[in-house]
Structures are given as structure tokens and as C-alpha cells.
Amino acid sequence: GIYIEIIQYREIGGYEGVYLKNLIYKAISSAAVFVVAFAVFGTTAAVVRRNLRAYYRDNEIDASDSGILQLPGNIAVVILSAAAAFFTRNIFHQKILEFFNAVDTGITDPLFGRELGYFLFKRPLVVQAYQLLITLWVLAAIMAAAYYYLAVKATEGYGQSSNLPYIQFRPLLKGRFARHMLICIVGYFALKAVSYIFMKEEILYSGFVAGLTGAGYADAKIWLAYYSFMPFLILACLAAAIFFLSRKKTGKALISLIPMPAAWIITAIVAAVLQSVYIDPNEARIENRYIGYNMSETRHAYNLDSVENIDFDSVQEINAEILQKNIETVRNIRVIDYIPTLDSNIQLQSNTNFYTFYDADILDYTINDISTPVFVSAREIDRNKLPVQSYINTMFKYTHGYGVVMNPINSITREGQAEYIISGLRMNTTDPKLVATRPEIYYGELTRYPVIVNAAQGLKEIDYDGNRETVYEGVSGIKLSFLNRVLFAMKYRDFNLLISGYIDGNSKILLNRYVVERAAKAAPFLMIDPDPFIVLTPEGRLKWVLDGYTYSGRYPYSQYTDWLGTRFNYIRNSVKIIVDAYDGSTEFYIVDEDDPIIAAYEKIYPSLFTGKGFPEDVRQQMKYPEALFKIQTLLLQAYHLDPGDTEEDNVQKFYTNQDRWEIAKYSTYAEYTGNYSSGGGETYIVPYYNMIKLPDGNGETEELILMRPFTPAKKSNLVSWLAVKNSWENYGEMMIFGFPKNTNIFGPSQVEQKINQIDNVSKDMTLWGQSGSRVFKGSLLVIPMETSILYVEPIYIQASGSTSIPEVRKIIVGSQRGNEIRFGTGTTLDEALSQLLGESFSVSEGAGGTTLPGENGEQDGEKPDETPEEGEEDKTDAAMIEELLRKYDMIREQLDEMGKMIRELQ
């Protein structure tokens, strides 16, 4: 098992040093536990042996008699100590490494004034060691009590002349046995006295005031005093007990221990009375200081204290001038939705029956020298779709995916379908700079099983469309020598690895191909985001980018969060991980130098992190993780600050919830999961990406931002929106833009209700739905422009049938004017904006200033004479030719696939 782990770590990226260091410290910690356990159990066994010998001697019992309990031997002690070492083998090593590589944070906790590094790095080991010691002590005491009980039980009636039947269990209540057990009890309480040091610190993680984490007034004034006083009381009680035991006054020794539980009972009563009589009636004032601690520490632990607050003085109505000034924002408005686009790609771009698209991500790419937000999705192999699930197919032949598809999010075809920047197995592209030199995807999100490459006997892998073959040329993989074949056959219980004639010494097995597990294996101390994204580099490589998080559950006063089965109250996106989709090479980059936890891990594992700087070829595609943004926005609902208020005012608002926010909601009525007529409810808007220029001078040009709007609690109007920058230069910068409090800004759910009341929209959706087609709405987007808001929502129609393609049939845009919403609808964004403005507007040209059909005497359906500018006809012809070529390639690929299917059927 160790050998297999080492070669896997080495194959991932030469990270066997991480595994070996962990292994060495596991061995050291297990050995230390064994020694401590052997000392505790061995000493206990020695005392038990001595007492039992004396007992047998005093009662004239033959200790060698087979019916008598045998004395505990060293073998039993070794077995118990080994068990303790085994069960704690994965508990101590990481804490030991963190303890000896702790870093100072420059931050102290607000109650004790101790350095934060103590709580993050040192205290966990000390507490764990103490818990081990007291557990071993209790187990040893139980072992001794069990031996004494069984020994006395076994000797009842021993010999007809023995007086033991009349003695019964009295030996357990006095004499050597009782003294030993009392010593165990005294030792337990002595250890318990030490625990009050940790219990005193533990109040930093307790709860007060409706579940807030930290110590409240009663904790700080009553329980803190109790935990400080109790060690001295315990030592005094133990001294009295030992004094009485030395004089064989067992009863008085027991009585001398009574003050300990009595002190707890008295303290609990005093704390309860104080809480109900004094604190609860005056909670806002008395707990103010401690609520402030919780607010400030939670904000820092989740990096919310770095959020910049920007308030608008007023809100403008959308007009042509604003759209013109923000024309790049308008040009990049998303008019296609995530799930329908992914569905469309699966239908149109899988190209074979064994490829599929698992996921898609919005990234910023330079397309023909223009920064453009795009959907990028990897074409991965799906072994479940193979026509024959044979061992040869799944292990040797169908080993990898092929290429990516790229859709602009800001445009659609005339049929309302998603357009393509990169499409087809040939990866046809509208930008000659976007070329994939290594389109094969051996490592991805669906590659969750091993495969064998470089097979013997000329067996090659299926490539491209299924009619071509290839041989893997990457450096990754583990050579299948005879030893490795035997070991992996045992590991995977796969006898074929031993007997297959397609495996020789040049064959390699590719393991850990699921990129999330691959990264997690190399860095088990990080939390890996399960949503990676793929990028096409300028060199033509496909690379996965993953987010790694450092986290802790020991940050004083910070609120807890649960995610991915882990509970924590501190988190940082400190690491970006890059995995090559072809050869699996994995690199770890630190992107948050201010995080103390990653600084400690860098000291522990210096060979893990790449020190040459984040690679240029993926810098443009940096994006802030949605998962972390969700966590931060959920906390920000309560933990936001009003910059115009004092600290005390903010604490009072937090306590009373008078300024609490909620994530804005939108109606699920007629979304992709159901029919227009099926009804629905409301759900929270998920974070979404926009290519916009941030208002109020916070952005000189358009850039990709991740945003999420807020409403006041239990209300629907917008109160603010949070934005975070994605670019490498400004990565992670967060801003809250607040709307005027005296202005009612319509929220998404209110706008959605207004959309449902638009006559032509409602009628069209009802009519389309009656034909058996599915009609659904895309996501309603709130798009800020300066101090204005533009609402955009696409409406989709999808014919019945599993192979039908969703198409955008109508685009709705809206803007608030006073207490009303004005809407514009059209089959394109230009049409919708023109109707909204009352004048023609072209995304490519801006506001034209001309009137719409039907205005100024122009008859409906008539168009003014237009003379194309010089070169416009050529551009149009070139675009038509490009579209025809794209459709020709797509039809040809579909015909090839049909031919293959016919051959398979024959």
C-alpha cells in the first residue's frame, strides 16, 4: 500500500515528498501514542498484578488454578497500546506539523488577547494530546476495575472451607482494590483540573444570543471565573482526599470530593438566574460588546472586512445615452442561459454516441482582439454511452474526450440557438488564435476510472470521431511492470491486469483521472472546490483550473458554516491548481500570500507549491469561485455594515435584524424545469457573471465580475448588490453597491411578476405551450449600468422530444421609471432595446436616433431606404459564407456518425 501511494504521488507531479512526510509523522505520532499507552496500561497492569497476588495470598488461593483469573501480562498491554496507536494514526500527524510550523498572524482574540496562531496551529495539538491522555487513564481504570471484579467473582466459593462466600464483593469496597480505584479517581480529577484551562478557552466557540458563536456576558463574567477557580478547588479536594486515604479513611476521602460537583451546580444556578433576571431584559445593552466581537471576527474570518461599501445618491432611468456610454456592457449582455446552452451542446456538439458535456463555465476570452465572455465546455467521454461495455472498450479503447466547445453568451443564431466560437470535432473557430494542439482530454470531470494506454499487440485508442485511432504520448501514467501489475490487480481486484495479452512493460495505467480527486490526493489538507473549469491556452493546451481552500474551525468568535461535509469558521481561496487535461501534470500556486494557514503549509510542504508565479497562459481566465462567493453572500445578509453608522449602531441593527438583507429571489414560474402552465415558486438568485464596467469610477473598462443582488428581509425591492472582480490584477476585490434607502427599486421577483402581466408575452407563451412544446424562461439578470438597472430575460421554446434543441424565441428587457417598469421585447436584443427606448438601437452601433417602424407616419412593415455603407455587403457575404461552412461541417460530421451507426447495426 505504501509503495502504491508513493508511485501515485510521484505520477501526479513528483509530490511523493508530501506523502512521505505525512507518513513519517504518522509513524512518529503512532510510536509516541504507543509509548504513552504502554506506560499507562503497563503501570496499571503492574499494580493489578501486585494487588491480585496479595489478594490470592491472603485468601489462600492457588493463582495457578485454571479456574482462577490469570494475572494481566505484557502481551495484553502491548495489544492495547498497539490498538491505541492504530486508532489514532490519522489524528496527530497534521496537528504536529502545524504546531511546529506555526506562523504569527498579528491578530489577537478579543477576550484573552492571545495570538490567533495559537488557536489555529498550537491549541489543537495540545487539546488532542490531553484528550488522549485522559482517555487512556479512564480505559486503564476500567481495565483495573474489570480485573478486580472478575477476580473476586471467579473466587466465590473457592474451596469448601473458604470463607469467601460470606465475604462476597466486600474486597472491592476496601483494601488494596479500593485504594487503587480511588487513586484512579484522584488521578482522573487531577487531569480534569488541567482540562479547565482548555474549557476556559472553549467559551470562545460557545453560543450566545440566538446562536451567535463566542462568549457572551454570562460566559465572560460567570463561567470564565468558574473555569479559572476550579483547578484550585480540585487540587484542594484532591489533597484532602489523599490525606484521608493515607489514613485509610475512605469514606471521608469520598466526602472531600463533593465540593467539585457542588461548585458546578451553584455556578449553573447563578448563571441561569443572571441570564433570566439581568441579561435577558437588558440583552441589547449588556451583550453589545460581545455581539460586536462576533461581527468583527466573522467578517475577518470570511474576508468580508475587505468589502468596500459604495452608496448611490440616486437611481437613473435607462436611456440611450447611458447605453451608449456603456456600449461594451450592452454588447456583452448574456442572452443565453446555462442549462439550455449545455443541453444544446449535448445535442449538437457531442458528435458521437460516446461523447457528452458535463459542465460549462463562463470565462473571459479575447476573441478577435475583443474581450468577450463565453461559455466553455469540455467534450468528455462517457463510458456509460458506449454501445458495448466490454473490458477492451472501457480499459483500452475509449480512453479520452476530445476538445471543447465555446459559445458567446451575448449572441444567438437566427433560429434562437446558441452560436459557436469553437465547434465540432475539428474545433472550427472564428478566431485563428484559438487552436487546440492537444485536444485530447485524458483527465477531466467524467474520467473517474483508470485506463491503460500504450497497449501491446498494436492495440490503439479510439480517437476523434471513432473512426481514427491514436497512441498516448503523455508523460503521465505508471508503467505496468510485473510487480505493478500484481499490485494493481490486487488493489482493483482485477485479474485481467495479470492475464491480458494487451499489457506489456511499455503499457501504462492512468490513475486519479478525476481532476478534483487528483488535486485532493496531492494536497489532502486543502478543501478542493468540486467545480473546476477548463481553459484553452495560447499554446493550444487544454488545462483545468481548480480552487483550493484553506480552512479552520478554530477561529475565535467566528460563525460556523457547513460545506462539502466540513464545518468551519474560517476560509480563504489561497490556492489555484492547474491540471493538464492531456498529461495530468498538476501544479499548485499560492494566490493569497496574506493567509497565515497557507503560509504554514508552505513551510511544511515547500516542494508542493510552484514558486515561479501564476502562469501567464491562464491569467486572463481567472475567475472567483462561485462556491466561496455563495458562502460570503449568505453571511453578508446579516454581517454587512452601514458605512454611515457608528459601530454601536451597526451592532444594534445586527441584534435587532432591522437592517437584515436577503438574497434576491426570482420566480421559478415557467423556468427550464417545468412548463409555463405548471406553476412554480420562488428561489434565490445564484451568483452570476457579468461583463460590465463597474459604476462610480470603480472600473475604467468592462471586466468580468461575479455578482449577486440583495433585498431587505421579507421584502422584494432591491437594496444592494455585491460584486467581486475576476481579473488577475484585481482578483478578489469586492464591493457592495447600495441603493438609496428612500427609493423603491424593483427586485427580480417583482419584475418577474410584471413580465407575466405583459399581454403579448403571456399570450405567446400560452400559445407556444399549447402546441406541445416546452416553454420556459431563462434566468432574469439584473445588469447595473452606472446608477441604472437593466433587467434582461430570455424566453425559450423547445419542441417535444428528447432530441429537440431549446431556442430563444423572445428577449425581454426592462427598466424602472418611477414606480413603473417599462419593457421592450424582441427576437433579438437590438429589437428589445429599441422597443424599450422608443428609438432604434443597435448593439454594434449604439443609438441610431431613427424612429421605429410605425412612428412619424411610417406604416407598419415599411422600412426606410437604406444604402449599405462601403464594405458592408462584403462583410455580410463573408458572414453568410462562414455560417454555411460551419453548417456544412456539422452536417458532414452528423452524416459520418450516421454511417458509423449503420455499420454497427449491420
Interval 407-440: pLDDT, tens: 999 999 988 999 999 999 999 999 999 999 999 9
pLDDT-derived band at 330 (thresholds 50, 70, 90) equals very high
Q: Which residues contact 46 (CB under 8 A, 6 or more apart)?
A: none
CA distances from 374 to 71, 152, 303, 704, 887 (A): 76, 80, 29, 11, 21
The three grid cell numbers given for residue 128, joined into one nine-digit string = 488532542
Measure the CA–CA gap between 272 and 266, rounded to whole angstroms: 10
Report whether 670 contacts 676 (CB < 8 A).
yes
Q: What is the mean pLDDT of residues 160-187?
A: 66
Residue 346 has pLDDT above 80, yes or no: yes
Report whether 533 contacts 547 (CB < 8 A).
no
Q: What is the mean pLDDT of residues 609-634?
A: 91
Strand-strand pairing, 355-357 and 774-777? unpaired
Q: Which residues contact 873 (CB under 8 A, 6 or more apart)?
A: none
The three grid cell numbers given for residue 204, joined into one nine-digit string = 470562545
Residue 697 has pLDDT above 70, yes or no: yes
The predicted pLDDT at position 865 comes to 39
Residue 165 has pLDDT above 60, yes or no: no
Percent of the chain with pLDDT over 90: 70
> Which residue bears the cell 459604476?
695
Nearest Cα residue to 120 out of 109, 132, 130:
109
The predicted pLDDT at position 867 comes to 37
- pTM, two decimal places: 0.88
Residue 877 has pLDDT above 70, yes or no: no
3-state secondary structure 338-401: HHHHHHHHHHHHCCCCCEEECCCEEEEEEECCEEEEEEEEEEEECHHHCCCCCHHHHHHHCCCE
Report whether 515 contacts 546 (CB < 8 A).
yes
Helix axes 93-100, 596-604, angle to 10 degrees: 100
pLDDT-derived band at 171 (thresholds 50, 70, 90) equals low
Residue 45 half-sphere exposure toward CB, CA atoms < 13 A: 18
Report whether 331 contacts 250 (CB < 8 A).
no
Q: What is the pLDDT of residues 237-264, one digit of tens each?
A: 989 988 887 787 878 888 988 999 999 9
Residue 520 has pLDDT above 70, yes or no: yes
Of the given ranges (363-377, 485-499, 747-761), which has the lowest mean pLDDT? 747-761
Report whether 810 contacts 761 (CB < 8 A).
yes
Nearest Cα residue to 687 out of 718, 660, 720, 664:
664
CA distances from 293 to 216, 222, 289 (A): 10, 18, 7
Residue 868 has pLDDT above 60, yes or no: no
Of the given ranges (108-122, 306-320, 567-581), which has the lowest mean pLDDT? 306-320
Residue 344 half-sphere exposure toward CB, CA atoms < 13 A: 28
Tell me how long the chain is. 906
Measure the CA–CA gap between 118 and 127, rounded to whole angstroms: 12
Measure the CA–CA gap between 377 and 214, rounded to whole angstroms: 44
Between 895 and 175, the more confident residue is 175
The predicted pLDDT at position 72 comes to 80
Q: Beta-carbon neighbour count of residue 459 at 10 Å?
A: 18
Report whether 719 contacts 728 (CB < 8 A).
no
Q: What is the mean pLDDT of residues 321-331?
A: 92
pLDDT-derived band at 862 (thresholds 50, 70, 90) equals very low
Strand-strand pairing, 527-528 and 478-479? unpaired
The three grid cell numbers given for residue 424, joined into one nine-digit string = 465540432
Q: What is the mean pLDDT of residues 652-673?
A: 80
What's the whole-number average pLDDT of the chain? Answer: 88
Q: What is the mean pLDDT of residues 749-757?
A: 89
Nearest Cα residue to 717 out of 736, 698, 689, 742:
742
CA distances from 668 to 454, 625, 807 (A): 50, 25, 19
Report whether 753 contacts 644 (CB < 8 A).
no
CA distances from 74 to 30, 49, 64, 71, 108 (A): 19, 11, 18, 10, 48
Residue 396 has pLDDT above 60, yes or no: yes
The three grid cell numbers given for residue 544, joined into one nine-digit string = 483545468
The predicted pLDDT at position 674 comes to 39
Measure the CA–CA gap between 314 and 738, rounded to whole angstroms: 10
H/E element, 794: strand 788-798
Of the given ranges (56-60, 256-260, 337-341, 652-656), which has the lowest mean pLDDT? 56-60
Q: What is the mean pLDDT of residues 397-404?
A: 97
Between 612 and 817, the more confident residue is 817
Strand-strand pairing, 561-563 and 566-568? antiparallel
Kindly give the residue spans of alpha helices, DSSP state H, lying in 302-349. 320-325, 327-331, 338-349
The predicted pLDDT at position 886 comes to 56
Nearest Cα residue to 290 out of 207, 197, 202:
207
Strand-strand pairing, 308-311 and 355-357? unpaired
Residue 857 has pLDDT above 80, yes or no: no
Residue 563 has pLDDT above 50, yes or no: yes
Between 517 and 800, the more confident residue is 517
DSSP letter for 676, please.
Answer: G
The predicted pLDDT at position 229 comes to 95
The predicted pLDDT at position 313 comes to 87
- Written as one string, the DSSP assignment of 573-600 is EEEEEEEETTT--EEEEE--TT-HHHHH
Q: What is the mean pLDDT of residues 611-636?
A: 92
Residue 679 has pLDDT above 70, yes or no: no
Strand-strand pairing, 841-842 and 820-826? unpaired
Report whether 504 contacts 481 (CB < 8 A).
no
The predicted pLDDT at position 855 comes to 34
DSSP letter for 779, please.
Answer: P
Q: What is the mean pLDDT of residues 835-864?
A: 55
Nearest Cα residue to 257 out of 235, 277, 274, 227:
235
Measure the CA–CA gap between 402 and 356, rounded to whole angstroms: 10
The predicted pLDDT at position 322 comes to 92
The three grid cell numbers given for residue 265, joined into one nine-digit string = 451546580
Q: Which residues contact 640 (CB under 8 A, 6 or more apart)?
A: 304, 307, 659, 661, 720, 736
Q: What is the pLDDT of residues 66-117, one digit of tens each?
A: 566 777 888 989 999 999 999 999 999 999 999 999 999 999 999 999 999 9
Report whether 874 contacts 884 (CB < 8 A).
no
